Structure formats: structure tokens, C-alpha cells
Structure 1
Amino acid sequence: MTELATGKRAFDGEPFDIDLSMRICLGERPGFGEGTPKCYVKLAKRCMDP
């Protein structure tokens, strides 16, 4: 959902490696671009939570 809001791949510019995988497992989530409607961010965060 972040890709739709920002037009970029989640964690764009970061290497897709074990460190990123561990950070995601520990709860890190991609950000949203400025101007993304709050209702969209809220829905996306609910979808990303385990």
C-alpha cells in the first residue's frame, strides 16, 4: 500500500538483505509520503500489523 501512496517500492534505496528482514520482523514498517490521507495511512498500518 505504501507503493501506491508514494510511487516507490517499500524501503526504496535500502539493500534488501537479512538486516532489513530482521528490522521488519522487529516491527519496522515503510513510511508514507507527505500528503497521504490519514485514513489511508491508518488502513495501511492495520494491514501491516501482525
Structure 2
Amino acid sequence: PEEALLVRMPVGTARAFVQRTRRVVGAGRPACPRCGLPVDPDGHVCDPLDGA
């Protein structure tokens, strides 16, 4: 690949990162029924899908 990211961390740090990430993603935000992007608590403005 043209771009890559290599992260090195202790196993315990990696496990804590995964647990926190799962909690954050699990809390989630609802997806916009029109564009599928996450909707912020303050609302959401999505670009028209048809280019109009």
C-alpha cells in the first residue's frame, strides 16, 4: 500500500485501547437515513445524493 501506519504498544495498552474503542463505537450515533453518515446531537446536514 502507498500509505501505512505501524503502531507499537505494550499488550496491556493495546487491550485497554480495544476495550475503550468498543465502548465508544458501541455508544454510537444514529445513521442518517438519507446519506448513512452519523448524525450529531445538534443535527446533521447531508449533501443531496442526486447532485441537485
Which structure has the bigger radius of gyration? 2
Greater length-normalized contact order (CA 8 Å, ≥ 6 residues apart): 1
Instruction: Report which of the two has the higher share of helix.
Output: 1
Instruction: Give TM-score, length-normalised by structure 2.
Output: 0.25
Instruction: Give TM-score, length-normalised by structure 1.
Output: 0.25
